[in-house]
Amino acid sequence: MIFILLGAVFVTGYLGISNVNSNSQLLISQVQSQTLQPTFYAAVANINQAKSSAQFWMIIMVSAAGFISVAICIFASISLTKGLKTVRLALDKMAKGDLTQTLTLQTEDESGKMAIAYREMQIYLINMFHQLKSDAEQLNTAGQHLSISASQSSETTKQVAVSSHSWRTRTGFCSCFG
């Protein structure tokens, strides 16, 4: 858009100068053909003044367009870096384990898209941690049950061994095979 504005200013200024040049050529040809010597020098002075005025306004317009384009670039740069800085700070906190940090960027630029991706990742990680916690609790419960079962099994094995030993000694049964 800025380039279109600059092009329009340049073309307008150029056409204005070329019109002045063509008018001066027309006036010079009239002076030569009709011998308008007394007004010739005044007309040339007016043409030169108009040409200088057109050049001056063209310089003003190009300078204004340049300043406007620089201002737009600075504004765009500041707004983009502000959003990126906000996302980066939130990601730094997430990297340190803080999953409670929320982003409220409501822009449609890259910063806004990154904020949306951040929120989706945050939700996924929170769900994953809840699932891991649930799985760890289930594993802990299963481990406790397994420990209790192993303890009961060990106690039962001891009782069988004691009972078997006591039976052998009471009956006088001896294992001859081994």
pLDDT tens, 55-91? Answer: 888 999 999 999 999 999 999 888 888 888 888 888 8
State mean pLDDT over 124-128: 92
Name the nearest CA neighbour of 107 among 90, 84, 126: 84
Cα 87 from chain centre:
8
Residue that terminates a domain, selected from 51, 66, 98: 98
3-state secondary structure of 96: coil
114 with 159, same domain: the answer is: yes
Determine phi and psi for 164, rounding to 5 degrees.
Answer: -65, -45
The answer to whether residue 17 is domain-embedded is yes
DSSP 176: S
**Bigger pLDDT: 4 or 115?**
115
What is the pLDDT, as a whole number, of residue 14?
A: 46
92 with 148, same domain: the answer is: no
75 with 109, same domain: the answer is: no
Determine phi and psi for 7, rounding to 5 degrees.
Answer: -65, -40
122 with 39, same domain: the answer is: no
110 with 154, same domain: the answer is: yes
d(C-alpha 89, C-alpha 146), whole Å? 46
69-73, 91-95, 170-174: range with highest mean pLDDT: 69-73
Domain that holds residue 139: 102-168
State mean pLDDT over 108-127: 87
The answer to whether residue 45 is domain-embedded is yes
The answer to whether residue 173 is domain-embedded is no
84 with 147, same domain: the answer is: no
Largest CA distance in the chain: 158
6 with 88, same domain: the answer is: yes
Residue that terminates a domain, selected from 64, 82, 98: 98
Structure tokens at 49: 């003044």
Q: Are 58 and 8 in contact (CB under 8 A)?
A: no
Categorise residue 172: left if φ over 0, alpha if ψ from -120 to 50, beta otherwise: left
Please name the residues in contact with 55: beta carbons below 8 A apart, sequence gap of 6 or more: 13, 17
94 with 106, same domain: the answer is: no
> Exposed, middle or buried: residue 119 (CB in 10 Å: 0-12, 13-18, 19+)?
middle
Residue 145, CA atoms < 13 Å, CB-side half-sphere: 6
What is the pLDDT, as a whole number, of residue 30?
A: 57
Overall domain count for the chain: 2
Residue that terminates a domain, selected from 98, 116, 139: 98
- pLDDT exceeds 80 at position 112: yes
pLDDT tier for residue 132 given thresholds of 50, 70 and 90: very high
State mean pLDDT over 110-127: 88
Average pLDDT across the chain, whole number:
76
What is the pLDDT, as a whole number, of residue 11?
A: 46
